[in-house]
Amino acid sequence: MDYLKRYRKMIALRGLTDHTITAYSTYIKAYLEYVKKINKFPSQVSYNDMRRFIDDLQVTRLLSDRTINCVIAQLRFFTIYVMHKPWDSTQLPQRKFDTYLPYVPSQEDAITFISTFKDLKPKAMTSLLYGSGLRIGECCSLHYDDIERNNLRIHIRHSKNRSDRYAILSENSLDILTQYWFAYGKPKGFLFPKQHNADKAIDTFYLSKHIHAHEAELGWDHKLTCHSFRHAFGTHLYENGADLFTIKELLGHKSLSSTVIYVHLAAVSTKKAISPFDSKGGEKHV
């Protein structure tokens, strides 16, 4: 049996995208190679073997505990839906991991970073990440017709949560986008097509590469990612007075719990609060 092919078929039945299927298959492929290496068939693998695979994977690939949990979830799916065997979660428990707040550039730094781009393509893409709070995949997949200039909004098709939504379109982003559109041949399909294949969207790593290069040009520390600008969008909206429900809808979050992070990231929430040690009856005291 081609176990990897069977696994991919089973997860495809969940309606996942090709990109997600590929991502989910990565460690199962490594697992099957490991099983072959120890001269066993998948049906003969014990939980001890799985634990050794996890340990080996973490050492050789330096994976975080969060990623290890993803691997365990993939092994669980493989065991249940491909091998048709029960899964005992006490044998491979999910790991606890530390949660860190992501880096968010200030409004001034975000604007400086975008405005100093020389190349209009990464400049336009980054302006959409910050000006509209798009995910990098959503930005890469944009079509010409998704940009509603008169309404100043962007139609996001089939987002991460498999639902359409509208994002706001910044007037500054629209100006940059218009300059890009004329400079890059007026694309009418994908707004950011692949360089040698206009029928396909640009790869996500294109912008990551340009962001890192631009940091170096500016002499900045390497802190920014594509997602930093989406976080900055949500954080700065909250700092400017937008409520969490509005931010949730604009970002396309499925749950409000995903949006609450911007309360922690925003500087305004801690600046407005007064320690009870410094106040009495609403007034500051010494």
pLDDT digits (tens, 9 = 90+) for 11-70: 888 877 676 788 788 889 999 999 999 999 999 999 999 999 999 888 888 888 888 999
Percentage with pLDDT > 90 across the chain: 60
What are the CA-CA distances from residue 133 to residues 2, 11, 191, 274 (Å)?
A: 41, 29, 17, 31
This model's pTM is above 0.75: no
pLDDT band at residue 162, thresholds of 50, 70 and 90? low
Q: Identify the weakest region by mean pLDDT among 30-34, 194-198, 205-209.
A: 194-198
Which residues carry out catalysis? 135, 160, 227, 230, 253, 262
Please provide residue 119's backbone torsions phi and psi, each rounded to the nearest 5 degrees: -85, 125
Confidence check: pLDDT of 283 > 70: no
pLDDT at residue 20, rounded to an integer: 76
Confidence check: pLDDT of 250 > 50: yes
Domain limits, CATH 1.10.443.10, in the chain: 107-270
Contact 102, 230 (CB under 8 A): no
What value does the mean pLDDT take over residues 115-135? 96
Evaluate whether the domain defined by 3-82 bears CATH number 1.10.3470.
no
| Average pLDDT of the chain, as a whole number | 88
How far is it, in rounded angstroms, from Cα 258 to Cα 247? 10
What value does the mean pLDDT take over residues 2-19? 84
Q: Which CATH architecture has domain 107-270?
A: Orthogonal Bundle (1.10)
pLDDT at residue 95, rounded to an integer: 83
Which H/E stretch holds residue 162?
Answer: none
Residues with Cβ within 8 Å of 70's Cβ and at least 6 positions away in sequence, in order, are 27
pLDDT at residue 285, rounded to an integer: 47
pLDDT at residue 253, rounded to an integer: 86
Strands (E) located in the chain: 147-148, 153-156, 165-168, 193-194, 197-201, 279-280, 283-284
C-alpha triplet 217, 103, 108: angle, nearest 5°: 60
pLDDT band at residue 126, thresholds of 50, 70 and 90? very high
